[in-house]
Structures are given as structure tokens and as C-alpha cells.
Amino acid sequence: MEDKLVVKHEENSDSNHGKSPEERTIEELLQTGIVNIDKPAGPTSFQVTENGKKILDAKKAGHAGTLDPGVSGVFVVGLNDGTKILKALLEAPKEYICLMRLHESAELTKLKKIFSEFSGKIFQTPPVKAAVKRVLRIREIYEINLIEKSGKDVLFQVLCESGTYIRRLCHDIGLALGTAAHMQQLRRTKTGPFDESSIVTLHELADAFALWKEEGDEKYLRRAVQPLENGLSHLQKVIISDSAVNSITHGAQLAVPGILKYSHSLKRNDLLAAFTQKGEAVMLGQALMDSDEIMEVKKGIAVKTERVLIGTDIYPRYKK
């Protein structure tokens, strides 16, 4: 559920500058967009990213979280300037559907009880083949649901903190059952705000790009390449004045007078996204005030700018 916005003050936006993300040309989308690719089992994350980059003739591309070669599903790729938001998606919650094989059969009631014990904060040590240091760490399981059990095969859905290893989770569930278990198949179904409803295969992406290049039909390519703003909807947000945009693009911090609206539940140190009134993402930043403080004060720095997302020439420098 999206957090409601609190209005600090209102002003009109200048129609001569900027545009809503939906009004961008296809060329602008390809320069700043995001693609939710349906990664097949087999290729590496690097190979899928490079294939997407090549298909769309992008100069730069990156992804929002590695999937092992054998894992399929939601694989978010940023194109060119769209790579600037990937850090926010890398740290976003992930959802998976997993097929786990038990080495010995277990009663359904016992299985349900063990699953409930793995909800919340858990300790994990990354698998031997992981690309990170193998130290004990805490990860949070937001939801874990048993979908189906057939013999020794168990199908479950899990929504978890980024950096949770599902292969290790299967291993630990097996130990808790007094037996052993391993991950047989895994599919990622969600990364932050992206799920399977907007997914596109590499073949579909190639066809859509060719249709635009050869026949000028951009309808299917527009479905595949999304505005980068779609990758920020899970964050806390502030809506800012047109007059604040230009200074932020040149490295300034966001002061309270430049804020028009803000998330009701905003807390200090939250990662947030700042938007224009037209819906354009301006920057990623760190909140230096909570929502109550922003409402109470008239001046001061409210947000530390961490990553500028909009060009310096979109909004002019306004005279004070």
C-alpha cells in the first residue's frame, strides 16, 4: 500500500519545462529506461544483461540483482541513465517461488510448523559458491507460504530481504525438520515494485525493437521499456518545486522551502526519491528530517542528495 503524501504547500508547475514520464519519446525512454526481463534458466546474469544491451543498442546497461544461471524470472535491467536507480532496486525486497526436495518425507502439519518458525529475522551463512564473504548475518523473511506438497517435493513462496539465499534457506528448513533438503528449482517473481505482470522475454524485446526500427511501430517497445520512475515507487518520496530542480542537478541539497509534498511515514535516514510535480524523478537522497520535522520547520536541509537522476538542462535556474 502506497504511503499517503502530506501537503506542505502548493504551487503551479511551469508547463514550458519538463514533461511527465509517459510523454517521453521512445528515444528518451531508451536513454533512461528500465526493462523487466524474464530471465531463462541457463545463461548468467551478465549474459542476459549484455544480450538486452545489444538488442536495444544501449551504450550501458546494468541489473538490479544477480540470479544464478539455473534460476529464472524477474530480472530488472537499467539502460544507460536508467542504471542510476539500480542501487535502490538492489536493496529492495525480493519474492521467489521455490521447489524444494526433502531427503525424507515429512508430515504436512510438521512442515507448516517449521515454515512458521522461519518467518521474521533469521541467521544465514552464504553458500560456499556465493560471491560474498561467508560470515553469519541476519536476513528478514517477510512472508513464507507453503503452496503445495507432493511426496518429498515442497512448493513454497517467500518474500524476503535482499541478500537472502534461498538455497541456504532450503538447507536450513531441512535441518529444522530433522532431515535434509535442497533447492530443486527457483523462480524470482518480484523485485521491489516489478513483478511478472510487466515481464518480457529477450525474444519479445528483440521483436519489439525490430518492429520500431523497421516499421516505426513503437507500441510494443513502449510496453517493454518502462520509465525509470516505475522502479522507485517502493521508496519514500518528496515532491519538489520547479525552482528547486536546477540547483539539485548541480549538486545542491534539498532544503525545506523546496518541498511541496512528502511521504507521511518518512523517517530520518530513509532512502527516498524526489520527484517534480509532473512525476519526473529528480534524485535519490537520504532524509535528514522526518515527516513531523518537515511540517514544523520553515528552513534547513531536509534531504541529502545522493544520486541525480535528471538532466541539468530540463529546468532553468529560477531567480529568487
List active site positions.
68
- The Cα diameter of the chain in Å comes to 73
Alpha carbons 215 and 220: distance in angstroms, whole number: 12
Alpha carbons 236 and 223: distance in angstroms, whole number: 26
**Cell numbers found for residue 207:** 521483436
3-class secondary-structure state, position 233? coil
**Cell numbers found for residue 4:** 499517503
Alpha carbons 207 and 95: distance in angstroms, whole number: 28
Per-residue b/e over 285-298, b at no fewer than 16 CB within 10 Å?
A: bebbbbbeebeeee
Segment holding 113, helix H or strand E: helix 108-117
Task: Fill in the DSSP letter of residue 109.
Answer: H
Do the beta carbons of residue 164 and residue 125 sit within 8 Å? no
**Cell numbers found for residue 109:** 502439519
Q: Return the ∠ at Cα 174 (arms to 170 and 176), rounded to 5°.
A: 115
3-class secondary-structure state, position 13? coil
Alpha carbons 143 and 149: distance in angstroms, whole number: 18
CA nearest 48: which of 70, 22, 20? 70
Please give the span between the terminal C-alpha atoms of the chain, in angstroms, as a whole number. Answer: 38
